[in-house]
């Protein structure tokens, strides 16, 4: 195995690209869960956003419009989950699983005529001399706009949740929806907005896969990315900064195993391919077994059905 063939700068740059779709989906789901809603339909919203973004991008020859359509499609698709769980009071776990199944089936139907077609993709952001810097150029200043948008989104979510009144209200609804309702806050409305935000982020993550990461449509191309995003939210203890770390950790493991294969690793390909998922599970198990009392607690009202008493 020749490790000298692995360029650290290109490895880190590829890590950021690989992590972006999961980061987008995970930061959206974190906001949803901080509002007290557990949406297991992230995978379905991602694949639906991937196919809608691809279809619009191909037909308009504009990846930017594809991303906008994917965000809108993810938000609208999530409304079905919101209506069923917040208005009809259905079980959130079962409804989320159903949303994933519908998304997978619907995307396969819509995407069938587009298999094998290449899509337009986003150009890299031109940053002049910064892009030519040794090491830091390819690592930080040679990416497409969605990589930078995902980082800005993490920063914005962290700031809003920690320092704004809207963030405080959202967290209050997630911690105790009855108390928030008694104070006059519209719990259902707030949760609907959080659900739509999470759906839009998942749609963007899916579109990144079909328009940038692998610029073509392939049935089931999310390949469990939505489930990894859900796991990362738990790994991150529902904190924005840790979501970034978790997404980049998983993306780094994925890129590393591909580079090890290219370098001629003697370990079986199947073991290298499963390593990112296996390590993610092990990290979650370790966190669950070693957590300090209350330090990693989920929002107190997470997954609980809210019904207004008046």
pLDDT for the residue 295:
46
Q: What is the arithmetic mean of pLDDT over 217-231?
A: 91
* Cα angle value 305/201/109 (rounded, 5°): 90
The predicted structure's pLDDT at residue 293:
46
Give per-residue pLDDT as tens, 30-67: 999 999 999 999 999 999 999 999 999 999 999 999 99
pTM: 0.91
Structure-token match 């063939």, residue found: 5
For 269-293, write each residue's pLDDT tens digit: 566 567 667 766 776 676 666 555 4
Question: What are the boundaries of each domain within the chain?
Answer: 3-290
User: What angle, 0 to 180 degrees and rounded to 10, lies between the N-to-C axes of helices 165-175 and 145-163?
Assistant: 70
Indicate the pLDDT class of residue 13, thresholds 50, 70 and 90: confident
Say if residue 10's pLDDT is above 80. yes
Mean pLDDT score of the chain, rounded to an integer? Answer: 88
Q: What is the mean pLDDT of residues 248-270?
A: 71
With a CB cutoff of 8 Å and minimum separation 6, the contacts of 227 are 42, 43
**pLDDT tens for each residue of 75-129:** 999 999 999 999 999 999 999 999 999 999 999 999 999 998 998 898 888 888 8
What is the pLDDT confidence band of residue 203, given thresholds at 50, 70 and 90?
very high
Q: What is the pLDDT of residue 164?
A: 96
- CA 43/CA 231 separation, integer angstroms: 12
pLDDT digits (tens, 9 = 90+) for 149-174: 999 999 999 999 999 999 999 999 99
Confidence band for 259, pLDDT divided at 50, 70 and 90: low
What band does 294 get if pLDDT is binned at 50, 70 and 90? very low
Task: Measure CA of the first residue to CA of the last residue in the chain; give whole Å.
Answer: 68
Give the domain 3-290 fold.
Answer: ABC transporter involved in vitamin B12 uptake, BtuC (1.10.3470)
pLDDT category, 2, cuts 50, 70, 90? Answer: low
Given a cut of 80, is residue 184 above it in pLDDT? Answer: yes
If 0-12 CB within 10 Å is exposed, 13-18 middle and 19+ buried, where does residue 261 land?
middle
228 CB-near residues (< 8 Å, 6+ apart)? 22, 250, 277, 280
Given a cut of 70, whether residue 264 has pLDDT beyond it is no
Spatial distance between the Cα atoms of 92 and 85, rounded to a whole number of angstroms: 6
């Amino acid at each position: 195995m020749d490790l000298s063939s692995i360029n650290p700068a290109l490895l880190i740059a590829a890590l950021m690209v690989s992590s972006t779709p999961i980061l987008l989906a995970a930061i959206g789901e974190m906001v949803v869960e901080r509002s007290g809603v557990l949406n297991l339909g992230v995978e379905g919203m991602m694949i639906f956003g991937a196919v809608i973004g691809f279809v619009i991008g191909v037909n308009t020859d504009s990846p930017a419009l594809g991303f906008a359509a994917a965000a809108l499609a993810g938000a609208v698709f999530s409304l079905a989950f919101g209506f069923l769980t917040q208005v009809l009071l259905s079980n959130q776990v079962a409804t989320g699983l159903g949303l994933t199944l519908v998304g997978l089936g619907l995307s396969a139907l819509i995407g069938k005529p587009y298999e094998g077609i290449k899509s337009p993709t986003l150009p890299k952001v031109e940053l002049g001399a910064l892009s030519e810097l040794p090491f830091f150029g390819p690592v930080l200043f040679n990416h497409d706009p969605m990589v930078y948008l995902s980082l800005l989104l993490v920063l914005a979510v962290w700031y809003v949740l920690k320092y704004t009144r809207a963030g405080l209200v959202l967290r209050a609804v997630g911690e105790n929806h009855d108390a928030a309702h008694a104070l006059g806050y519209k719990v259902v409305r707030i949760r609907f907005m959080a659900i739509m935000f999470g759906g839009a982020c998942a749609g963007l993550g899916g579109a990144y896969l079909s328009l940038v990461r692998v610029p073509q449509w392939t049935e089931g191309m999310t390949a469990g990315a939505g489930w990894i995003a859900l796991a990362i939210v738990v790994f991150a203890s529902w904190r924005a900064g840790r979501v970034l770390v978790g997404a980049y950790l998983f993306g780094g493991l994925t890129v590393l195993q591909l580079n090890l294969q290219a370098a001629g690793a003697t370990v079986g390909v199947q073991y290298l391919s499963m390593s990112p998922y296996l390590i993610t599970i092990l990290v979650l198990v370790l966190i669950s077994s070693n957590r300090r009392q209350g330090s990693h607690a989920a929002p107190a009202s997470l997954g609980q059905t809210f019904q207004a008493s008046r």
